[in-house]
Chains A and B, each alone.
Chain A
Amino acid sequence: MEWESVIGLEIHTQLATKSKIFSGASIAFGAEPNTQACNIDLGMPGVLPVLNQQAVKMAIKFGLAVDAEITPRSIFARKNYFYPDLPKGYQISQFELPVVGKGIIEIEMTDGEKKLINITRAHLEEDAGKSLHEDFDGMTGIDLNRAGTPLLEIVSEPDMRSAKEAVAYMKKIHQIVKYIGISDGNMQEGSFRCDANVSVRPKGQEALGTRAELKNLNSFKFIEKAINLEIERQIDIIESGGKIVQETRLYDADKHETRSMRSKEEANDYRYFPDPDLLPLVIETEDIEDIKQQMPELPNAKKLRFMEQFSLKEYDAYLLTSSIELADYYEKVKTQVNDAKLIANWLIGELSGALNKNNLDVKQSPISADQLSELLKRIEDKTISGKIAKKVFESIWNGEGNADEIIEKQGLKQITDTGALEKMVDEIIANNSKQVEQYKNGQTKLLGYFVGQAMKASKGKGNPQELNKIIKAKLDSL
C-alpha cells in the first residue's frame, strides 16, 4: 500500500524582549542558575503577573507577517499541571482566544517547488525552567532562569506531507521571526524549538490517522530525521497489523530513535480556565496600524525588490534574501560595489561556502561587508582577476589584513602593461611550436591552452581578457 504522511508543527519561539513576559527579570541567556528568577518567576505566594508590552507587539508583528487575523480581545488562561520546572503548578498561556488567529505562508522546497501552509494560530505564553539531570546525590536540580521567558507558540495546520516540507516550513518561520526581529532564532540556546504531530494514512484516504507528538526537535537536521523515523515506525506498525497509540514521543538524536514519554501522558487533563490575575488583552485597530507602519520588509517582498532593483535572477534573489543578515550584507556591499551580479556570485559562492564550511552564520563572518566591498572593487577596476581575488579572500578570512594591503604585500596586482604581456606571449609561442601548428590546423580550442600558459607564467597576474586578445592576434598573424 502507498502511504501518505501528515505533519503539523508547533513551533515555540522565544521572543527577544529584555524582560520576562510577566515580570521584570532579565531573559539573558547563560546566567548563573536562578539568578534571573524573581519572586514572580518563582511562583512565590501572593505575587502577580503583569504583561510585557513588547511581547504583545512582537506577537502582533508575527501575525501581520503571516497575514493572520489579530484577535481584538484575547484571553490568558492557566494550563494546570505539576512539574518541577513549572513553579506555579500552571503555565500562563492562551487557550480559547489566542492573540494571533488563522494565517498563511508560502514555503519553498530546495527544488523550487512552492506550497501554501496554513497557520492555525499563534499564542503568547511563558516558558518553563530547566531540569538539570546531573546527579546531585540522586536528585535533579532545577534552574528557573528560563521560567517566564516570553514564548510565541506558532501552530500549523496538518498541511505538510513530508519531512522535507516540514523542514521548509520550519525554515520559513525561522526566517520570518528573524526578519521581523522578534526572536534571535538561536536553536542551540533553545530560542527556537519545535514539536511535530505526525500521522500516516493510506494515500487517497481523507480521514487522518492517529498521531504521535514528537518532542525535542531542536535543529533542522533532527526534525527531518525524526519525522522520517516516525513515519517509518508508524507504517511498520500498521503494516504488521498493529495500531498507532496517540502519545508523546521524545526524539533522541544520539541514539537516533524516538521513545514514548509516558510521564507526560498520565495526567494530561490540563484544566484550562481564564487566568483571574490577568484581564482580557485588548488590541485596538490603531495599535495594529502603528505596528504595520513599523513592519520591516518581509522575505518575499525583499526578494522581488532584489530582482527588480538589482536585476538579479529569482533564484539568486531567493538565496540572498534567505536570511535577513545575508540580505543586509548584500545591500551594504551594493552601496560600495556596482556589479550586482558579481556581489551575488561572491555572496552565494565564496562567502556562503566558507561560512558553511566553518559552521558560522553571516553575523559571525570574519569578513565584513566593507572588507568584501574593498575586494570586489579591485575586481571591478581590474586590479586583480577573479582568481587572484579568491586567494585574497582567503587571506582576509585568515585575518591577514584588508584587500588592498594583501594585494600590495603579496604583489598580486594584475599586469596590464601590454608590452610585458606581449613579450611573455612571444616566448610561449616560441616554446610551443607543436601546439601552434595544431592551432593553425584548425584546433582553435587550443587558444585556452595558450592563455593558461600565459596565466601561469604571469603567476596569475596577467589580465585574462587582455591575454586572450594578444594571443589570438599573434597566432592568427603567424
Chain B
Amino acid sequence: MTEVRAYRRTLSTWWWVRKPSYFLFVMRELSSIFVAWFVLYLLVLLSAIGRGEEAYRDVLDLAAHPLVVVVNAVAFAFVVLHTVTWFALTPKAMDARVAGRRVPAAAVMASQYVGLAVVSAFVVWLVTL
C-alpha cells in the first residue's frame, strides 16, 4: 500500500459563527448559563421570603433596578430559546408510538405546548391565588 501523506485540517475556534445552524446550536447550548442564573435568582428570592416581609420587598425593589431588568431580559430570551428548541427536538429524539404507529412530530410538539400552558396556569394560580 502506498503511504498516504494526508493534509490534516483543524477546526477554527470560531467554527460556529459561519453557519446559521451552528450559531443557533451554540446559542441553544449557552442557554444553560441563564438557566443557572434563574436558579440563583429564585434562590435569592426564596431566601428573602424566608427572612421575612421586609427582605421580600427589598428583593422585589432590587429586581426592578434597570441593570437587573436588563440581565433578566437577556436571560429570559435564552430560556425561551431553550423551551422552543427543547420542544422541537423532543419528537426527533424519541420514537413515540401509539398502537404500533409512530406519533407525528406535530402531535408531540403540540402536546408539549399544552403541557407548558397547563403548568404556567397552575403556577400563576398557586402564586397569586
Is chain B a partner of chain A in the same complex? Answer: no
A residues whose Cβ falls under 8 Å from a Cβ of B? none
Residues of B within 8 A of A (CB): none
